[in-house]
Amino acid sequence: MHTQNQFCSMAIMIILLYLFLRQKRVGLYTEKVFLRTLLVAMLCVSLDILSLIAIHYRADIPAPFLDLICKSYIMTLIWVSYTALTYVITDLYTEKEYYKKLRQIRPWTILGMIIVYCLPIYYHTDNNEIYTEGPAVLATYLFAISFIIATIYTMARYGSRITPKRRFAVITWMVLWFLTAAVQFLNNQLLLVGLGCGLGMMALYCTLENPENNINHAYGCFHQHVLVRYLQQCYERGLSKSVMFISFISERQQGINENYMDDCLRKLISWAKDNDSVKVFRGVERELAFVFSDMSEMSKAFTQIQEQFYYDQFYNQKSAKDGNNEEFPVSLFILFPDTLLLNDGNEVMSVRRAIYADNSNITSSFVCYANERLLEQIRNKKQVMSQIIQALEEDRVEVFYQPTYATKDKHFASAEALVRIREKDGTIIPPGQFIPIAEESGLISKLGERVFEKVCAFLKENNPEKLGIKYLEVNLSVIQCEQRNLSEHYLDIMKKYGIDPWYINLEITETGSVSSKNVLLSNMNRLIAEGVSFSLDDFGNGQSNLDYMIDMPVSIMKLDMNMTQSYFTDLKARFVVRATIQLAHELDLFVVAEGVETKEQLDEMIALGVDYIQGFYFSKPLPAKEYLKFLHTHGSPV
């Protein structure tokens, strides 16, 4: 009787079970699936050994008992092949769907086992060979092979959705099984299937299920890559968790010793270790994620951490409770009160990235609450960004033109180009809904460039002289003005379309810093040298200063709509508007009044000496074709 291989396999699996149970585990359901698979494999090998012993001593054992042992063994072979199939599908479904699928496959397994139990089994022993045969064994092969084929089919069909690691592990398992079965089939004395089973489990453990892979030993916590899986699972189970990210802010890292930073990180982790209700995950850089069972646990922990480690900064006192007088590195706290507010487990990471990228949501004490309002804002931003990207890709960015009336010449001498996005269903999205997000995300450069190209293409197609247009006004975002290569880029575009720069007027607004003002100035000078002119947009909207009008080489000053309209409602504004127009004229600038909506406003502005009028009184911004029609009908002086 040869049972060495089976005992060897058992030993391997006992060691695996020990290692698996000994390690700290995150609590993923895939861990449970593995444990179940391992236990089934152990049962299979134990019954294998038992059946060999029983056959060996079959003269001393009652026949029904012998049948029961041997049939139980071959029944577990079906069970093991069924678990292989269930193992591959864990990546394909959510936890709920997974268990639903199991319920669909399980009856076949049970049916297989019942059939095996009902069919007769025969024993064969001569010399050193011991094996079973007969209909029950045949049925076992049939069912086991069907499950193995289903496993291979699933991997082939949905391979891309199964993680490569899982595919590799299951293929190794199947190959080991197949090879050992083939050897055993050819040489009945070599009972290798049991060993194949154990080695297969080892392959699964080493590639996939070693809990060590999830543990960051250097810090004694979990790796962040399992955080998403863990949260996803909680999400699917409808379990709410609260997550707190703590990350040392990098600018402040300067001056703080690297080792000290590391010590601080370890202190936070060891604080969490004393607290049973928290799971700690370590991210890249100096970031930790603490997962709590609920909001109140997180609030409690947050207060404790603040008091214990950040005492100095928050209370401005030099007496941290742990007796450490050194300052704890300033950290950003991102608090997710309820992970069920998220769309899935992955969103925690994308929201956290968005918060890092845009610090406007962070309070002065470096805390950010990822509450419903913020999540909505971040989702909206993401959606608008993909709307812009898609519109750019699918050429759904359009330019509308709002005619500008020249009061002296009494005709529509120019127009402002205003961007729109046309949705697939034809609806128009106004710039107010996407320009701020395009600016924040940097997409404005591409968008602005596209608008400029469209304007150049329009000028190329329609002879501006014939239309009576002196120039077209195109908006430049502050972000674009800060780019050093802007002027060369725009000159290239004009060259590409063969447009004389005289037909282009670029509208600028105030930029924040001195350095960006200098970049803007050099861009302006380069473009002005080629013939482009500039307007100072939105003058009087609260962000503009008189010195900008004086310093910058603009030839036109545009009165913001609010300023134009307040002229008619506010006595003080009247003086300001009058004085501004006078000053602009003294500086040799033309003045445009934006937002003129009524005949009364028009007359008043003309009386004030405004050179150009732009507003709904004459026209709203129009699509290119309608603008051409407009010029056609209003071609002669009004």
Residues that bind Ca ion (CB under 5 A): 475, 507, 537-538
Using alpha carbons only, how large is the chain's radius of gyration in Å? 37
Work out how close the CB of 235 gets to ligand C2E at its nearest, in angstroms, rounded to a whole number: 38
* Residues of span 569-628 touching ligand C2E by CB under 6 A: 594-597, 614-616, 621
Where do the H-state alpha helices sit in 119-246? 135-158, 164-186, 193-204, 225-236
What are the distances in angstroms from CA 445 to CA 67, 163, 459, 475, 515?
Answer: 78, 38, 21, 12, 19
Interface with ligand C2E (CB under 6 A), residue total 23
Cα 484–489–493 angle (5° rounding)? 165
Contact pick of 85, 451, 469, 536 for ligand C2E (by CB under 6 A):
451
- The one segment of 105-113, 303-311, 371-379, 427-435 that binds ligand C2E by CB under 6 A: 427-435
Work out how close the CB of 549 gets to ligand C2E at its nearest, in angstroms, rounded to a whole number: 16
Contact pick of 537, 590, 611, 624 for ligand C2E (by CB under 6 A):
537
Work out how close the CB of 403 gets to ligand C2E at its nearest, in angstroms, rounded to a whole number: 10
DSSP H or E run through 425: none
* 298 vs 418 by CB, closer to ligand C2E: 418
* 339 vs 480 by CB, closer to Ca ion: 480
Site string for ligand C2E, 371-390 (x = CB under 6 A): --------------------
Contact pick of 196, 448, 464, 540 for ligand C2E (by CB under 6 A):
448
Beta strands in 464-621 (DSSP E): 471-475, 504-508, 533-539, 556-559, 590-594, 612-614
* 204 vs 556 by CB, closer to ligand C2E: 556
User: Residue 475 interacts with ligand C2E (CB under 6 A)?
Assistant: yes
User: Residue 62 interacts with ligand C2E (CB under 6 A)?
Assistant: no
What is the number of alpha carbons within 13 Å of residue 46 lying toward its C-beta?
8
Contact pick of 301, 418, 494, 504 for ligand C2E (by CB under 6 A):
418
Contact pick of 135, 220, 431, 623 for ligand C2E (by CB under 6 A):
431
Work out how close the CB of 473 gets to ligand C2E at its nearest, in angstroms, rounded to a whole number: 8
Site string for ligand C2E, 119-148 (x = CB under 6 A): ------------------------------
Give 227: exposed, middle or buried? Use CB within 10 Å, 0-12, 13-18, 19+: buried
Backbone angles phi, psi at 420, to 5 degrees: -140, 155
- The one segment of 19-27, 46-54, 129-137, 443-451 that binds ligand C2E by CB under 6 A: 443-451
Burial 32-51 (b: 16+ CB within 10 A, else e): ebbeebbebbbebbbbbbbb
* 48 vs 482 by CB, closer to Ca ion: 482
Please choose which of Ca ion, ligand C2E, none residue 418 contacts, taking the beta carbon within 5 to 8 angstroms, the exact cut-off set by kind: ligand C2E
| Residue position matching structure tokens 């969490």 | 272
Contact pick of 197, 227, 419, 532 for ligand C2E (by CB under 6 A):
419
Where do the H-state alpha helices sit in 276-408? 295-309, 311-315, 347-357, 372-393
What is residue 401's DSSP assignment? E
DSSP H or E run through 541: none
What whole-number distance in Å separates Cα of residue 444 and Cα of residue 442? 5
Work out how close the CB of 595 gets to Ca ion at its nearest, in angstroms, rounded to a whole number: 8
* 194 vs 615 by CB, closer to ligand C2E: 615
What whole-number distance in Å separates Cα of residue 185 and Cα of residue 413? 93
Distance in Å from the first CA to the final CA of the chain: 111
What is the number of alpha carbons within 13 Å of residue 389 lying toward its C-beta?
8
Work out how close the CB of 260 gets to ligand C2E at its nearest, in angstroms, rounded to a whole number: 45
Residue 560 CB neighbours (<10 A): 20
What are the distances in angstroms from CA 66 to CA 1, 56, 110, 122, 513?
Answer: 16, 10, 21, 11, 89
* 44 vs 459 by CB, closer to ligand C2E: 459
* 236 vs 453 by CB, closer to ligand C2E: 453
User: Residue 429 interacts with ligand C2E (CB under 6 A)?
Assistant: no
What whole-number distance in Å separates Cα of residue 399 and Cα of residue 519? 27
Work out how close the CB of 628 gets to Ca ion at its nearest, in angstroms, rounded to a whole number: 21
Where do the H-state alpha helices sit in 89-160? 95-118, 135-158
Please choose which of Ca ion, ligand C2E, none residue 532 contacts, taking the beta carbon within 5 to 8 angstroms, the exact cut-off set by kind: none
Please name which of 371, 407, 94 lies closest in space to residue 234, comparing C-alpha atoms: 94
Work out how close the CB of 533 gets to Ca ion at its nearest, in angstroms, rounded to a whole number: 14
Contact pick of 387, 441, 477, 544 for ligand C2E (by CB under 6 A):
477
Q: Would you tell me which residues interact with ligand C2E (CB under 6 A)?
A: 402, 418-419, 430-432, 435, 444, 448, 451, 475, 477, 537-538, 561, 594-597, 614-616, 621
